[in-house]
Amino acid sequence: MKNVSWTVLAISLSLAIFPLWSGRLSAQDAARGGRPAPAVVVQPVVDAPIEPPAENIGRVEALEAVDVRARVSGFIEEIGFRPGAAVKEGDVLFIIEPAGYQAAVATAKAQVARAEAARQQATDNRNRNAELVRRSAVAQAAYDESQTALNIATADLAAAQAGLAKAELDLSYTRIVAPISGRIGQPLFTKGNFVGPDVGAIARLVQVDPVRVVFSVTEGEITTFRQREAAEMQSKVDAIKLNLRLPNGSVYKPEGTLEFLAPEVDSRTGTAAVGVIFPNSEGLLMPGQFVKLIVGSVQQATGPSVPQTAVMQDRDGRFVYVMDENKIVRQRRINTGAKVGDLWAVRQGVSSGEKVVVQGTQRLSDGIAVQPVEQDSGKQP
């Protein structure tokens, strides 16, 4: 009976010890036993920003926008753009039928010529009377009358010249040109329609490069900025980095430049408006669009960071598997910080350059040998 008890005890101990012993097989021992070392993907621990940048909802605004209007009345003879097209300052947008205004210019030129002739005649008459008065051939009153006639003719000439200038100006208004460069919307009146100053806008032109993004900051953020500005004696442009996150989640590459910080705080919301200018040569930003403004520091604090896929958790906390030079992985407890992008900042537990397992962790245990495939730190699995 005692022999049977000792046999049962020996078998129980063997079953208890075998999993621990088998989990610590070297790569050669595993191969001899017919079980290859598990394949894993490893990636080095990198130095990266340890604090995530602040994100604020902002709205894209056009720096300039113009409602195109007709200054003279007439029928639209030609439309010189396609809806949504980019136009440059000075491009012809509309042509209003010019024939009537050309005729008015011709009439005004004729009136100027007539007034010039009348003035010349009055000048000659005044000069003759001046000579006759000198010779005492006519009375002084005749000279005075001729001088008055000359003055009237001179005024008539000025009025005719002003009428010509007005007629030429009206004729120039029959060609409606773009006052700014930008993108133009759909014409509100088509060819053949009668337009004039009283019909309102006939198209809208919006500048799209660059654009302004306006967002709000709290009183606390404003105070922090002012304190940092006073301490560092530098502008906010030099102290922060401004980027955008587009509605599809991608980051807009060109950086922004601070334009203004509102001088007053809105008492209803406790915030102040901030404007940032962004280049927009590709037209990805559209006025009226909502975006996320990413506000980060130019000189960000950095520290060890690991991919989020490498971090696991149990009831004792978070841990990673770290591979040594002998291709043996060890479980390492870590103290994590903030998540920044695809990385997780680590306050304590790993050092930059160490290699952690980012794929294949479900087959691992402490002290096991692995077959590693190294992953570029710039590419997340």
What is the residue-level pLDDT of the chain in tens, covering all 381 positions? Answer: 444 444 444 444 444 444 444 444 444 444 444 568 899 999 999 888 777 777 788 999 999 999 999 999 999 999 999 999 999 999 999 999 999 999 999 999 999 999 999 999 999 998 988 888 888 877 888 888 889 999 999 999 999 999 999 999 999 999 999 999 999 999 999 999 999 999 999 999 999 999 999 998 888 777 766 666 565 545 444 457 788 888 888 888 888 888 888 888 888 888 888 899 999 988 889 999 999 988 766 556 778 899 988 999 999 899 999 999 999 999 999 998 878 778 888 988 899 889 999 998 888 888 899 999 887 765 444
234: amino acid identity, one letter: Q
Residue range(s) in the chain whose domain bears CATH number 2.40.30.170: 54-62+209-297
Domain 65-96+175-206 has CATH 2.40.50.100: yes
Q: What is the predicted pLDDT for the residue at 30?
A: 46
Q: Range(s) for CATH 2.40.50.100 in the chain?
A: 65-96+175-206
Q: Which fold does the domain 99-172 belong to in CATH?
A: Helix Hairpins (1.10.287)
Position of tokens 């479900």? 362
Protein fold of 54-62+209-297: Elongation Factor Tu (Ef-tu); domain 3 (2.40.30)
**Residue 254 parent element (H or E):** none
H helix runs in 174-282, sequence order: 219-232, 236-239
Whether omega before 210 lies within 30 degrees of 0, making that bond cis, reads yes
Query: Which two structure tokens, joined as six digits, stand for 25?
Result: 């097989």
What is the model's pLDDT at position 298? Answer: 54
Q: Which stretches within the chain are classed as H helix?
A: 2-22, 27-32, 99-134, 140-172, 219-232, 236-239
**Token pair in block for residue 314:** 């149990």
Token pair for 89: 């300052």
**Start-end of CATH 2.40.420.20 domains in the chain:** 24-51+302-374
CATH second-level architecture of 24-51+302-374?
Answer: Beta Barrel (2.40)
Range list for CATH 1.10.287 in the chain: 99-172
